[in-house]
Amino acid sequence: MKRPHHQGGNIMRPALAAGIAALALAAAGCGGSGSLKSGSSGSAQKGGTITVLSAGDVDQIDPGQMYYSFSYEIGYATQRPLFAYKPDSVDTVPDLAVAKPVVSKDGKTFTVKLRRGVRFSPPVNRPVTSADVKYAIERGFASSVANGYVTTYFDDLVGAPKQATSGVPGIPGIQTPDKHTIVFKLKRPSGVFQGALGMLITAPVPPEYARQFDSKTTSDYGTHQVATGPYMIQNSSAGKLTGYQPGRRILLVRNPNWNPSTTLRPAFADQIVFREGFQHPTVLTRMILNGDADANGDTPPPPAELRSITGNPSEKDQLTFTLEGGARYISLNTAKPPFDNKFVRMAVAYALDRNALRLTRGGPIDGRIATHFIDPSFSDKGFVQAGGSGFDPFATPDHSGDLRKAREMLQKAGFANGKYSGPGLTQVADNTPPGSDTARVVASNLARIGMRVRTISVTHATMFTRFCNVPKQEPNICPNVGWIADFHEPQALLDATFNGKNIVPVNNSNWPQLNDPRINALMARAETIVDPQQRFAAWARIDQLVTKTAVAIPWLWETFPTLFSSNVTKVPELWNLGAPDVTFMEVTG
């Protein structure tokens, strides 16, 4: 869903920018597959401090509310959801769970066994039980917590509330037959439920401790939280966080109750310091290269610095690039003319110069030209099945546009001379680069086929909250949108954005307002497919069909650059947009 991640970008999960296409999937040599214990070799160095720099703060400090990529850097270091990720993979592995869920034949019951020997940090100190996981998920439905994705991925639980509740509800579809077993009962089969069990909302929360905070109008459990991971945010003996200074610093120290034999995270460093408020990316970059800090947490090096680093033999190995798991696209409003006509939309798809669009974000250093919505990081989870890079229904020479094809489409739409002659169009765009530059290219490209586009320039937030996210106020074109999946399931990329049932009056993310009965029906069926290969194939077909409608024109599969100092091992999280995995990094210098 809409999990914003790094600063400065526009994808929802508003994404930002940067990377070199040829290096897009570079991965650090860390972790691996197989046993629970994973990390470096026997010569691993323990101890030391890792310093991560960021421009902004976490979106929420409560793990049950966290939804930013940067927030996950802290959340997955301090908490243990049922499932988590090794840094070099996009597939979940058991974390608090002992093994993968046992799924019933009808796909509606998921049984998970919990790992023994996991304890809460001070001041709670007791062992974790299944009741703590049950409470963690239930509190997400309470208005005092208001988790941002619980109703998307957990609404199929039997008895799950339809809207936020006053107080933490009891959900009969979450059962705890014993202290180390949790059972989830669903109303229908779900293909993505297992993926959702890797989100932080499944990290245990002790109810006898947390209720005093959750019972308030707005829960303040976040500033009194306890940990189950190898690290904890430094706190007082009463449990109040002392290591969190909003917008300035987050200090992680070792959890004294952490049992390394129960975890996949080696946690080499003694402490992690997240220093916030670095608004100048060039300064941030120089500090990392000079060894005054160790990694960028939410802000990439600017394009000029990236070019300098990649051209410097002594620095280029400190940089990694990670595909972000989604696409940037131009959204066309199908709820009103002229984009209720598919041939007019197809004319736009042929007219757009996707290379020129990519140049507004730095050129090839920012990523690969997108030809559909499922990006290469999905690999055989939908990307390959959709045709990979070879699927491009609106192919043009060098991705630079094809005016002849565009005019043919306009003729099919009823414009005899192949030029649009209808009313003027509006687009709402960012009022600052690179979004404003992207909008300028869109307007220029469309002028070549007779479309007069008036641009309304507003702040990035206003673009969404007042215009693109509000169907009644939506312009003809939203040029600065895109989507990144919460986890590598195609449904998490396509359902909220193109399913007709998800068009809502406010906070709408189906920006084209696509409401195609055939596509809706295919999505309804695909949502219930439990078999992975059948599910990936179904969503790949949906990806193809949506792309062919031209309701949105994808133009960039973006990568994110992570810079590491020479004092640490470089460990980017492939599953989390390349964020540094501080639980696997070693201090070597």
Q: How confident is the model over 105-159, as pLDDT tens digits? A: 999 999 999 999 999 999 999 999 999 999 999 999 999 998 989 988 999 999 9
Q: Which two tokens stand for residue 117?
A: 């020997």
Q: Which residues contact residue 415 at a Cβ distance below 8 angstroms, ignoring those fewer than 6 apart?
A: 421, 422, 450
DSSP-derived letter for residue 199 is: S
Q: Which residues contact residue 290 at a Cβ distance below 8 angstroms, ignoring those fewer than 6 apart?
A: none
Position 494: which residue type? L
Asked if 128 and 204 count as a contact pair (C-beta separation under 8 A), the reply is: yes
Asked if 439 and 430 count as a contact pair (C-beta separation under 8 A), the reply is: yes
**CA gap 522, 525 in Å, rounded:** 5
Count of CB atoms situated within 10 Å of the CB of 298: 29
* Burial (CB count <10 Å: 0-12, 13-18, 19+), residue 543: buried
What backbone torsions phi and psi does residue 444 show, to the nearest 5 degrees? Answer: -65, -45
Q: Checking DSSP bridges between strand 49-53 and strand 83-85, what pairing results, if any?
A: unpaired
Q: Which two tokens stand for residue 22?
A: 């040829």
pLDDT value of residue 12: 53
| DSSP secondary structure of 374-430 | S-GGGTTTTTTTTTGGG--TT--GGGS--HHHHHHHHHHTT-TTSS--S--EEEEEE
**C-alpha dist (Å) from residue 162 to 142, 151, 526:** 11, 8, 22
Digit-coded pLDDT (tens) for 374-407: 999 999 999 999 999 999 999 999 999 999 999 9
Q: Is 185 helix (H, G, I), strand (E, B) or coil?
A: strand
The H or E element containing residue 102 is strand 102-103
Q: Is 163 helix (H, G, I), strand (E, B) or coil?
A: coil
Name residues of the chain where pLDDT drops below 70: 1-43
Question: What is the residue whose two structure tokens read 């034999």?
Answer: 261
Q: Angle, nearest 10°, between helix axes 490-498 and 517-526?
A: 150
CA 2 from chain centre, in angstroms, equals 7
pLDDT value of residue 421: 97
**C-alpha dist (Å) from residue 398 to 356, 467, 505:** 11, 33, 39
pLDDT value of residue 34: 28
How many CA atoms lie within 13 Å of 342's alpha carbon, on the beta-carbon side? 8
pLDDT value of residue 236: 97
Position 403: which residue type? L
**C-alpha dist (Å) from residue 364 to 20, 46, 356:** 6, 38, 11
pLDDT value of residue 36: 35
**CA gap 478, 17 in Å, rounded:** 18
DSSP H helices in 167-216: 193-196, 207-214
CA-nearest of 551, 510, 121 to 349 is 551
Q: Angle, nearest 10°, between helix axes 532-549 and 490-498?
A: 40
Domains defined along the chain, listed by start = 21-272 (3.40.190.10), 326-560 (3.10.105.10)
